[in-house]
Structure 1
Amino acid sequence: MSVQIIQDECIQCQMCVAECPSQCLSLQDGQIAFSAKSCISCGHCFAICPKGAITLNSFTAAQAEALSSSSPLESKIINRRSIRSFKSDPLPHTVLNQLIQLTRFAPSARNTRLTQFVVIGRKTMNQIGEQVAVMIHPKMGAIQKVKDIVFRGAPHVIVAIAPESATEMQKMDGQIAVSELEIALPDEIGSFWCGFLTGAAQKNPDIRKQMNLPEGFTVVASLGVGTKDIQYARPVIRENIPVQWIE
């Protein structure tokens, strides 16, 4: 990915530095510097810059801001961002329950509807965070002690679970349900897919036990949620997806 800083327009606010999940940006000698070594091409730096002083793969902020749709749903999809800066206040259980109940209307393989949900809060997240981090990489446990790289400070994780005996299609029901739930989130609530937790919980029965999962169930999807503590200025322009048409 090509990221260019327009230094004459940059105000060194360092919002891009703070929001980069891969620490590719830094302030050096009074200027923002970019290193592509660990870049995951998320575009957060491009989307967050209040002055539009970053180009992404030669696309400018003005081009991204011109993206629009008359459909509120399309607009929400275009502007969707993984949020990793949250206010610490927990969301009301009534709000979370209302969102989860919407997934009753999601599709289900053979209409078996085996997906259930567990919502974990900070107490449990703090208990299992280091274990999850170590399963990512042995050195990550020490980082998790000082910076929440697993849950990104979110006050909750909505976890979709299914019986271990379920078919792959039935387990996919939970992923579909969480996708629909994420689209239904109100604008003030942000989210990110917590793949670290999903992968760790699938492999580690002790983590599942601490999450108080029912016996015989596994995690199929995890979504960190909370009130946003940041607003992105624009969407990220993506290349068109190749489509093959077969008659």
Structure 2
Amino acid sequence: MELIEAIKTRRSVRSYKDEPLPEQTVRELLEAATWAPSSMNNQPWAFVVVQDRNYMKDLSDRAKKFLLERMDLFGGRYRRYAGTLSDPAFNIFYNAPVLVLIYGNKEVYSYAGDCSMAALNLMLAAWGRGIGSCWIGFATGIGNTHEVKAELNVPEGYELVAPVVLGYPAGPAGKGVRGEAKIINWLK
């Protein structure tokens, strides 16, 4: 698949086959993530890979509870998801076989942007291999708690930037529509 085609056709996948990804494939995707640009080549990212479905289900349940308990702290952004988050059957990770948590070293001022670019590399590399992905914003809060960081052996000074699930899509990707680039100014 050509790069521009991958950029234009990659979509968030929210339905996955019950089929594991080979460890070597996941390692190759992580390597692709590390080729992302980073400010001053600091490469502030660190990865946690979770393939334990029981742990992912438990983390999903805790994330939903975390968000529901803090609904008002987020300025109402999550209120429209209250019903979904209250549903015991809803798994925020969409039952994907792999969860990659991209943590950034907060000592590097550009860690959030750098880790976001690593996540995009990961998702585009996955799509190029027929593997779906989805950035799971619902996992960020719980993934930054001391409890979860301790469970995952995340070093002090790291913050979760990009929780991304990976797996083989259960169906075709949706169609996306983009408008023209909004150019505020073009100085010549």
The answer for unaligned runs of 5 or more in structure 1 is 1-70
Aligned CA distance change for structure 1 residues 91 and 181 (closer, same or farther; 3 Å): same
Aligned CA distance change for structure 1 residues 108 and 134 (closer, same or farther; 3 Å): same
d(CA) in 2 for partners of 1:163 and 1:235? 35
**Partner residue of 1:62?**
none
1:119 is the counterpart of 2:49: yes
Aligned CA distance change for structure 1 residues 189 and 78 (closer, same or farther; 3 Å): same
| 1:191 aligned partner, one-letter code | S
d(CA) in 1 for partners of 2:18 and 2:125? 21
Provide the alpha-carbon RMSD of the alignment. Answer: 2.1
**Partner residue of 2:168?**
227
Aligned CA distance change for structure 1 residues 158 and 165 (closer, same or farther; 3 Å): same
Alignment of 1:1-247 (within 5 A): 72-121=2-51, 122-138=53-69, 142-143=86-87, 145-148=88-91, 150-167=92-109, 169-185=110-126, 186-202=128-144, 204-232=145-173, 235-243=175-183, 244-247=185-188
**Partner residue of 1:59?**
none
**Partner residue of 2:74?**
none
| 2:58 aligned partner, one-letter code | Q
**In the comparison of the two structures, how many residue pairs are matched?**
172
Structure with a larger share of its residues in helix? 2
Aligned CA distance change for structure 1 residues 237 and 113 (closer, same or farther; 3 Å): closer
Query: How far apart are residue 112 of structure 1 and its match?
Result: 1.7
d(CA) in 2 for partners of 1:225 and 1:206? 24
d(CA) in 2 for partners of 1:165 and 1:76? 33
Normalised by the length of structure 1, the TM-score is 0.63
SS at match of 2:187: coil
d(CA) in 1 for partners of 2:133 and 2:46? 19
Greater RCO structure (CA 8 Å; 6+ sep) = 2
Query: How far apart are residue 177 of structure 1 and its match?
Result: 0.9
Normalised by the length of structure 2, the TM-score is 0.81
d(CA) in 1 for partners of 2:59 and 2:46? 21
Query: How far apart are residue 154 of structure 1 and its match?
Result: 0.8
